[in-house]
Amino acid sequence: MTADFATRVRAAVGRRGRLCVGIDPHAQLLTAWGLPDDATGLRTFTETVVGAIGPHVAVAKPQVAFYERHGSAGVAVLEDALAALRDAGVLVIADAKRGDIGSTMAAYADTWLGDTSPLRADALTASPYLGFGSLDPAVGLADATGRGVVVLARTSNPEGGGLQTAVDADGRSVAQSIVDAAALHNGSGRASVGLVVGATREHGLDLTGVGGPILAPGLGAQGATPADLARVFAGATDLLLPSASRQVLSAGPDGSAVAAVAQRLRDEVEAALR
């Protein structure tokens, strides 16, 4: 049987460190690189970034929306990028934040986690706010394929606070209930569920028994530093994946400069969490 997602992440992190690079080709960034805001510019940007980070990082996180906005040509660029990252030995988290019920959730799962899908990634970000059980089709497919579902728990955007910190009948925050559901699944034998917890957030969660990766966006331009990570995620850094995007991508359009920033930030993260 294929190793589960947590095992695969642990192996990748052991080779290349914990840093996850977000690939976010928004219009302003394409312009800053001197590229047109179209599928041609998107392809140049993406191929440069993939070539730069591919040999150096364990995990990449392309933001799906920035490809979808260019229609079928943009999705074709993403398809090629996923294949190139796989060939480079990089685990890919498709940042699509999907969330639905029944056959619709199953279709999302097939798209991003199915063995034969041209858009297959190693994991998919997902929203549990239709109920954690609504993600069962994706979690089940992840279990079967060795892929992952990375579930929003405590995000860094201020709009999420009211919902995520609301307290349920058991006295737990909604975010903690999601953490606990992930831990319960991962403890059953296939650790396929990860969590999204913002690195800039004093989250107040007990993450010590999750058993799956914790994706922590916010490193770099959003304000979190490598030195913050050990404190914010105390006791839960084994499979921590701090994610940076703007700090790395703003070094372009020179691919060697992008690679240098990614390597430096990766090494700073490892030193801080040693």
Range of the domain at 144: 5-273
Per-residue pLDDT of the chain (274 residues), as tens digits, is: 589 999 999 999 999 999 999 999 999 999 999 999 999 999 999 999 999 999 999 999 999 999 999 999 999 999 999 999 999 999 999 999 999 999 999 999 999 999 999 999 999 999 999 999 999 999 999 999 999 999 999 998 889 989 999 998 889 999 999 999 999 999 988 999 999 999 987 888 999 999 999 999 999 777 889 999 999 999 999 999 999 999 999 999 999 999 999 999 999 999 999 8
Distance CA 61, CA 101 (A): 24
Exactly one of 97, 172, 246, 264 is catalytic; name it: 97
Q: Where are the alpha helices (DSSP H) in the chain?
A: 5-16, 27-32, 39-53, 65-68, 71-87, 102-113, 136-145, 161-164, 174-186, 226-232, 246-249, 255-273
What's the structural domain count of the chain? 1
Residue 157: predicted pLDDT? 86
Tell me, yes or no, if 97 is annotated catalytic.
yes
CATH classification of the domain holding 35 = 3.20.20.70
Closest to 113 measured CA to CA, from 139, 81, 85, 151: 139
